[in-house]
């Protein structure tokens, strides 16, 4: 059986099977190799591991708990739904896990500026926070559409002292924010660090971001075993670029009895090209943003327009490791549409008193759909990747609450 563990993948060149790599021009390849070398060095240092562990505990508030959503499970009448509470982290989502790592790496490499894109604003807020803590200037590129939708996070980024760059070209959402941030990074790759916000981009980012996020699954595996004396039957997470999903899946990849499910945004329907972002469900192998992975392309072979009610899932590519895990059949990828997401957002809020991020509500919606079909002694663990404060005004407006 293929070893899918963290140590086994990617290979030395950053490949997960045929996916990943460094599909960048030669001068950028050097910059990526420098980052890979610095990362390999820093992770073996005990002082770095101690500093990160202390920040996870005292700054982020880790370990995040697992909550048994009993009232929700009872209401559905099937499997038990459990929530890994990444929404309780400082800054409200899983993104802080890799942002702290990336900010410490930037300091170690003496970088003068950290640049990134953001969709829902969670990566932007988390990176601005980590840069404030470490004392490095931070610049966040964000689509104008998302700036208007995710206003609370925009205000927070400004308060935290980062430079916010509105991106107005194209669809003015996540893909354009990545293009814009990359352009700024190209001005001085030696002194800048592009702190990518998910398990995407050229090597070493898919590996590095996964490694920083793998704390989620490490904790969850131990916590679940301690309380229930077994592993969960299914582990579910939403997939935009794929960082929260890789974060929780990594610890379970070699536990073949645990079903792993990644939930993509079906937006307004999988039958409407340009109105969903279900890359693994509907896309094909291709290239985007310096990596080989599944991509949603249009007829001209360009990345297609994408849509999701959740800004953080609105991306026409996906992490190379997810692309590989789909092909080898270790992870099932399914989708949830905007309406199902909204229903789950409201149900979790009203039945459990937990307002989820719209991104995370995709995973909750899938678990609610699946739980109905399963006996009561089965356990579904959902990665609740973030909280919905950023989405509250938007949802209230859409639903007329
Ligand atoms: C709360 C939350 N969950 C999930 C995502 C999607 O990203 P990823 O697939 O990398 O976890 C985002 C992105 O902004 C997010 O804010």
318: tokens are: 């996906």
Strand blocks (E) in 133-289: 138-143, 163-167, 192-194, 234-238, 259-267, 284-288
Q: What angle do CA 17, 23, 25 make, to 5 degrees?
A: 155
CATH of 62-92+214-399, one of 3.30.70.1450, 3.30.300.20, 3.40.50.1100, 3.40.50.300: 3.40.50.1100
Pairing relation of β-strands 66-68 and 138-143?
Answer: unpaired
Give me the pLDDT at residue 150, please: 87
SS3 257: coil
Q: Is the CB of 385 under 6 A from ligand 1?
A: yes
Query: What pLDDT is recorded for position 149?
Result: 87
What are the tens digits of pLDDT across the range 175-228?
Answer: 999 999 999 999 999 999 999 999 999 999 999 999 999 999 999 999 999 999
Instruction: Report the alpha-carbon distance of residue 335 to residue 395 in Å, rounded.
Output: 20
Angle ∠(373,375,377) on CA atoms, nearest 5 = 140
What is the pLDDT at residue 390?
93
Q: State residue 1's pLDDT score.
A: 77
Q: How would you classify residue 63: left for phi > 0, otherwise alpha for psi between -120 and 50, otherwise beta?
A: beta
Ligand 1, residue 313: give the atom nearest the CA.
Answer: 6
CA atoms within 13 A on the CB side of 342: 15
Checking DSSP bridges between strand 234-238 and strand 379-384, what pairing results, if any? parallel
Ligand 1 and 308: CB distance under 6 A: no
Task: Determine the pLDDT at residue 2.
Answer: 87
Separation of CA 376 and ligand 1 centre (Å):
29
Beta bridge partners of 164: 140
Residues in the chain: 401
- The tokens describing 57, both together, are 């505990």
Which residues pair with residue 163 across a beta bridge? 139
Catalytic residue among 95, 113, 149, 175: 95
Provide the pLDDT for residue 121: 94
Where along the chain do the CATH 3.40.50.1100 domains lie? 15-56+95-210, 62-92+214-399
Which mutation among 90, 240, 308 tests ligand 1's pocket best, with the greatest number of atoms within 8 A of CB?
Answer: 240
> Mean pLDDT per 10-residue run, the chain (401 residues)?
91 98 94 97 97 98 98 98 98 98 98 96 96 98 94 95 97 93 94 96 98 98 98 99 98 98 98 97 97 96 95 96 98 98 98 98 99 98 97 96 93
- 57-105 pLDDT tens trace: 999 999 999 999 999 999 999 999 999 999 999 999 999 999 999 999 9
DSSP state of 249: H
Report whether residue 303 contacts ligand 1, using a CB cutoff of 6 Å.
no
Distance, in Å, from the CA atom of 179 to the CA atom of 113, rounded to the nearest integer, reads 18
Instruction: Determine if ligand 1 sits within 6 Å of the CB of residue 206.
Output: no
Q: What class does CATH assign to 15-56+95-210?
A: alpha beta
> Cα(118)–Cα(174) distance, rounded to whole angstroms?
7
């Amino acid at each position: 059986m293929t070893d899918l563990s963290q140590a086994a993948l990617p290979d030395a060149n950053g490949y997960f099977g045929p996916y990943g790599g460094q599909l960048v021009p030669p001068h950028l390849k050097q910059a990526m190799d420098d980052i890979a070398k610095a990362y390999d060095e820093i992770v073996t240092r005990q002082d770095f591991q101690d500093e990160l562990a202390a920040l996870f505990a005292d700054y982020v508030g880790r370990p995040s708990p697992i909550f048994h959503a009993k009232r929700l499970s009872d209401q559905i009448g099937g499997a038990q739904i459990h929530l890994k509470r990444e929404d309780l982290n400082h800054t409200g989502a899983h993104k802080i896990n890799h942002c702290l790592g990336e900010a410490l790496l930037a300091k170690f490499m003496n970088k003068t500026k950290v640049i990134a894109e953001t969709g829902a604003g969670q990566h932007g807020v988390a990176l601005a926070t980590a840069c404030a803590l470490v004392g490095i200037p931070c610049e966040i590129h964000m689509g104008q559409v998302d700036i208007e939708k995710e206003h609370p996070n925009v205000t927070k980024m400004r308060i935290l002292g980062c430079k916010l760059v509105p991106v107005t070209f194209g669809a003015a959402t996540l893909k354009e924010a990545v293009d814009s941030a990359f352009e700024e990074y190209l001005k001085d790759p030696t002194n800048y660090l592009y702190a990518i916000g998910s398990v995407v981009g050229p090597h070493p980012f898919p590996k590095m971001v996964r490694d920083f996020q793998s704390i989620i699954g490490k904790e969850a595996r131990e916590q679940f075993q301690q309380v229930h004396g077994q592993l969960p039957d299914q582990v579910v997470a939403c997939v935009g670029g794929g960082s929260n999903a890789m974060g929780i899946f990594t610890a379970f990849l070699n536990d073949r009895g645990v079903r792993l499910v990644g939930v993509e945004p079906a937006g307004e329907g999988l039958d409407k090209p340009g109105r969903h972002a279900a890359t693994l469900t509907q896309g094909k192998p291709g290239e985007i943003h310096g990596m080989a992975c599944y991509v949603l392309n249009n007829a001209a072979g360009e990345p297609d327009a994408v849509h999701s009610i959740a800004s953080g899932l609105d991306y026409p590519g996906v992490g190379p490791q997810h692309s590989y895990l789909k092909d080898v059949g270790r992870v099932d990828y399914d989708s949830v549409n905007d309406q199902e997401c909204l229903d789950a957002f409201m149900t979790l809020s009203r039945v459990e008193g937990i307002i989820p991020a719209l991104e995370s509500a995709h995973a909750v919606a899938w678990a609610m759909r699946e739980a109905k079909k399963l006996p009561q002694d089965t356990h579904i663990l959902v990665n609740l990747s973030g909280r919905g404060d950023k989405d509250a005004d938007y949802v209230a407006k859409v639903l007329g609450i």
